[in-house]
Amino acid sequence: MTQQQPIPICLFTYNINKQPINESLLSDKLMDELPIKLSDLYCFGLQEFCSILDGCFHSNANQILINFNSFLLCLLNDKYGVNFQTLAMDHIGSTGIILLSPYAFKFQNIKIGKSSVGYFNSSMKGGVGVRLTYSPRGKYDTQKVEISILSCHLNAYEGEYYYNLRKEKLNTIIRSLDFKDGYGLIKPYNHIFIMGDLNFRTAKEFKSDSVETTKLFAINDPSMLNGEDNIISLNEELDELTKGLREGEILVGFSESEIKFQPTYKYHLNTSIYNSKRSPSWCDRILYLNTYETSDIDDFKLNLTKTKLPKHEIFPIINKYSSIDSILLSDHKPVILDITIPFKPPKSIINELSGCLQILPLSLNNEAKFNNLGSLKSLSLEENVANGPTTIYLKPTKLDFLVQNINRPVVDWLLGHSLWLTTTQNGRLLVFIILLMLWSVWYVGGST
């Protein structure tokens, strides 16, 4: 059997903060940051690409997303001089995802999944995902592998309560993202990516005069920091998500490339100046399931250079992971990941019988993120460690189906029409007319 080539993928996530897009400005900046070499798949995750009001009405949000998709197609066509096609495009509320490729024939069986976790399960927060099959030589190729990608937006604010709420809501999205194949986001034999405004913070309680906050506000002052080493150190010391990954509290089995870029939030609009109302944080992230393994576990334990296959055919290769500091349209900075993944998918972290998270200590690999051994990596090197399913259920439930197909549409309808009646000129005019009519009926009835 022919050894399959690795798969180059580019992922981009951006919280637009409901701002109108200056296409000419964004085009120049984004074109410079995209990979020079053509990738097989381009994934764009967008958060707050429209207002909450538009997000409650599918047709309104969809038109905005269509316009953004057209812009991206033109951008990529101009960048690479080839014709791109849209593989998938959808949204939940104001969180969207767009997948484009110059090799559309390589992708089949495209499925969409959605999950809302906003107030009363509204789509104010949540995620939208795409699962698709990759076949290097087209749909008749006997060698295939699935890729699952999630774009999501979690709840904001500092504090232990909101940190735990983010963990809970992220687990809910991962479980309830229903692709109609019996699985949520986590499915065996899948390459899996999670990106978006995850909103993890750097302070449990924001104090503008704290030592930690002072360090973070000084992070873009080159005279006070020693380059990337200090950014890496501050991220590992203060960032909730980095610490959660290291300690196995969040997204077990997932990894992130080392963060060498400045916090992506919160900026004053059209500037690179941090807003003093919030502690600068790395809110915008891209992670991937990293339970890739060699055929000989001793090679993993001792030295990857002893394996017979090139490293890019065993583990992902990070070509670039950075923020795009030159894009100033929002209070966030976008983040881009240029990654090459092996054709062979990572080992599954879901137990197919129980549907629960499966701990795999012998195949966990966090080397792409941490230079020092974290708790999970240390665990993976132990000889006598039991592995097996946990109590974290990962498949969509009947309750998830009811919430996403009955509760969410009703809440979105009520929220959308309430906002329309109270925030738009036509809506307020209609309210006035209704009140005037009710007053007239009451007045006439009271005088007879």
Segment 195-204, tens digit of pLDDT? 999 999 998 8
Topology of the domain covering 7-396 = Deoxyribonuclease I; Chain A (3.60.10)
Answer for the pair 135, 106: CB distance below 8 angstroms, yes or no.
Answer: yes
Q: What is the pLDDT of residues 390-399, one digit of tens each?
A: 889 999 999 9
**Long-range residue pairs from 167-173, CB within 8 A, at least 24 positions apart, any chain:** 167/244, 167/249, 167/250, 169/117, 169/125, 170/198, 170/250, 170/251, 171/392, 172/115, 172/117, 173/115, 173/117, 173/126, 173/127
pLDDT at 59 over 90: yes
pTM over 0.85: yes
List the chain domain ranges. Answer: 7-396, 412-447
Task: State residue 349's pLDDT score.
Answer: 93
Identify the pLDDT of residue 377: 47
pLDDT in tens, 417-426: 999 999 999 9
How confident is the model over 342-366, as a mean pLDDT? Answer: 80
Residue 379: pLDDT over 80: no
Rounded to an integer, what distance in angstroms lies between the CA atom of residue 379 and that of residue 394?
Answer: 23
Q: Is the pLDDT of residue 226 over 90?
A: no
Asked whether residue 99 carries a pLDDT value surpassing 80, the answer given is yes
Distances in Å between the Cα of 441 and the Cα atoms of 32, 428, 429, 437, 448 are 64, 20, 18, 6, 11
pLDDT recorded at residue 282:
97
Checking if the pLDDT of 251 tops 90, the result is yes
